[in-house]
Amino acid sequence: MIIRPYREADAAATRAIYERAVHGSAATHYSREQLDAWAPQADAAGLARWGAQRGAAQTVVALEDGQAAGFSDLVDRTLLDMLFVDPRFGRRGIGSALISAIVNLARDEGAPYVETCASMTALPVFERNGFVVVAEEAAVIRGVVLTNFRMRFDLAAAGSQVATSYPR
C-alpha cells in the first residue's frame, strides 16, 4: 500500500470510493433514505465541487496495487473530515493507515488534537486507533437525521502512539 497526497486527477476515483463506501459498507447501520441523503450520486458540477473540496483540504489517497483504495482529509489542522475505504479493499488496514497519515499531518502542523465525526460504521476503526467518543450526535443532512459520534485524539497525550507515515 502507498499513501500519497491527493492529485486533481483523483477526484472521480475518490468520489466513487465515497459513494461505494457509503452505499455499501454503511448500509448495515443506516437506512436507504439516510444513505441517499448522505451520498447522492454526483453530476459533473457535483464532481467539480468534490474535487475542489479535496484540493482545498490536506487530502491523502491510499493506493493498493496501483488503484485508489481509500482517502482521508485533514481540514483546518484539527479536523479529520473524511475517511472512506472502497469496500473492495476492506479489512486490509487501509483505514488505519489513512488515520495514521492524517494524525501525523496534524502533528506536523502543530495541532494539539484531531477531531472527527465518525459514522456508526467507522466508529470501531477510530476507537482501535486511539480516538475516544466525546459525544453522540444527530447530524442533519439534506433534511435527514443520521447518528454519528464526535471523537477526539489528543496528540499531546498520545506521544508517538501513531507512528506510521507516508511519502510526501
Domain boundaries, the chain: 2-158
Q: Which three cell numbers stand for residue 90?
A: 476492506
Q: Which pLDDT score is estimated for 25? A: 87
**CB distance 26 to 66 below 8 Å:** no
pLDDT tens-digit profile of 91-113?
Answer: 889 999 999 999 999 999 999 99
- Bigger pLDDT: 146 vs 4: 4
pLDDT tens-digit profile of 22-44?
Answer: 988 888 998 899 988 888 877 77
| CATH classification number, 2-158, choose in 3.90.79.10, 3.40.630.30, 3.40.50.1000, 3.30.1540.10 | 3.40.630.30
Q: Which pLDDT score is estimated for 160? A: 47
| pTM recorded for the entire structure | 0.89
